[in-house]
Amino acid sequence: MHLKVCFLILVLLGFFAPIEARAPFLKRWGSFCRSESDCGCDQVCENNVCGSNPAHFYCNTHKDCYCNKACLNNMCFTA
């Protein structure tokens, strides 16, 4: 009986714990994003141009715009 009660308490504590405590790898992976700009990049590569100014230089990826972050599957990663 005591073992069942202890197990139930542990389950409830785990359920109400913050998500980082339940799954620490989520914190390591980064935060939710829709584009590299959500990950802290000022200029992203869109239509082969860094940023919205067409005078900015040509780019293939966000790294060409001096951004070391990537938004993959709505999660920020350090590239």
Residues 79 and 49 in one domain: yes
Residues 25 and 57 in one domain: no
- Per-residue model confidence as pLDDT tens for the chain (79 residues): 666 665 556 555 555 555 444 444 444 445 788 877 778 777 777 788 877 665 667 888 777 777 777 788 888 877 6
Residues 38 and 75 in one domain: yes
What lies within 8 Å, CB to CB, of 56 at 6+ separation is 43, 49, 50, 65
Cα–Cα dist 61/67, whole Å:
9
What's the number of domains the chain is made of?
Answer: 2
Residues 71 and 41 in one domain: yes
Apex 20 CA angle, 77 and 26, nearest 5: 25
Domain that holds residue 4: 1-30
Phi, psi for residue 27 in degrees, rounded to 5: -65, -35
Residues 23 and 36 in one domain: no
pTM beyond 0.75: the answer is no
What lies within 8 Å, CB to CB, of 22 at 6+ separation is 14
Residues 24 and 36 in one domain: no
